Amino acid sequence: MSTSTDVRTGSDVRATRDGAGAPAQDWVEGAACRTVDPDTLFVRGAEQHQAKQVCRTCPVRTECLAEALDSRSEFGVWGGMTERERRAVLRRSPDVTSWRTLLTTARDEYERGVALPLPQRRATA
């Protein structure tokens, strides 16, 4: 197990392995918010829009959102979504057992499809 600091709480996090055998918290090191004051991510109302802007170009946005959905995080902006938005996703898809698997697979498939020339994209759809 490795130890790192959770950018959101400042506490030590012991990285565990997820079902696929990958370290579950490795994505934290690449997070755009790792240098941001955590209080800016745990806001209400109009300030949430500003907090979500931190996530727009984050390279680990998918992993962050998956972590929040898998752990049912109730507070803060994670992966570009507010707690209200995440609750709505969870209500619409109660049978998902691993958001990490679902979201990373969807992202990878999307990126492969976008990389294909347009005629090939249509043929695979």
* CB proximity list for 5: less than 8 A, separation 6 or greater: 11, 12, 13
31 three-state secondary structure: coil
Tell whether 64 is in a known binding site: yes
Between the CA atoms of 104, 73, 27 and 54, what dihedral angle is there, to the nearest 10 degrees? 100
Known binder of ligand: residue 51?
A: no
Q: What span, in angstroms and rounded, lies between the C-alpha atoms of 78 and 9?
A: 13
55 carries a ligand binding annotation:
yes
Please name the amino acid found at residue 17: R
Is 117 assigned to a binding site?
no
Binding site for [4Fe-4S] cluster, residues? Answer: 33, 55, 58, 64
Binding site, residues? Answer: 33, 55, 58, 64
